[in-house]
Amino acid sequence: IYPINYLHLMGRKYAIRDQQGLYFVTFTVVNWIDLFIRDEYKETIVESLNYCKIHKGLRLYAYCIMTSHIHLIVSSEEGSNLSDTIRDFKSYTSSQLKNKIKENGKESRREWLIWMFERAGKKNKRNNSFQLWQQNNHPIELSSNEMMDQRLDYIHNNPVEAGFVDDPNSWIWSSCSSYQKNAQGKIDVYFIE
């Protein structure tokens, strides 16, 4: 059993302290469920990130949408609050994805997925009855060029490490080809210099 002070520090370890700072964040589906095996679910993420860029001051530097999680390097424009944007993004995408799952006639896992997300929501006192995303985003402030380069490589090589592709540029659900081939990706990004 940990002392109360240690538990408090654990919760504070991963926090966005500088709302305009550059952060590596990960959004993970509860129980690491492979939700994003369908393109229409990934497109919901793309649309939502684009919305946040245009309307909420999100600055997106890198992304990779995997089957059970999403990695991002982000910051917020002056006058915007990164924590609020992340909260709103997760809330909105959770609602949208719930509806898409329920309406998707091709979704063979529909009942199981809804049951799993409702079960997770009932176990978490911060939710009413539905939880799609794990609570913590594990934000890590990228305070050096070395940290930025390491996280950028990690994000772009994630689909290779998972065995989905042999070349990171082949994964269309990441910003890799934007960086390496100067090609148009699913989402425009600000480049880390």
Q: Which domain holds residue 23?
A: 4-180
Within a domain: residue 191?
no
Does any domain span residue 126?
yes
- Per the structure, the count of domains in the chain is 1
Residue 89, domain member (yes or no): yes
Residue 52 lies in a domain: yes
Q: Is residue 188 part of a domain?
A: no
Higher pLDDT, 127 or 45: 45
Residue 108 has pLDDT above 90, yes or no: yes
- Quick check: 63 and 187 in contact, CB under 8 A? yes
| 121 part of a folded domain | yes
DSSP characters for 76-96?
E-TT--HHHHHHHHHHHHHHH
Average pLDDT over residues 112-134: 90
Residue 185 covered by a domain: no
For the entire predicted model, the pTM comes to: 0.90
Residue 189 in domain: no
pLDDT band at residue 5 using 50, 70 and 90 as cut-offs: very low
Q: What CATH number is attached to the domain comprising 134?
A: 3.30.70.1290
Average pLDDT, the chain: 91
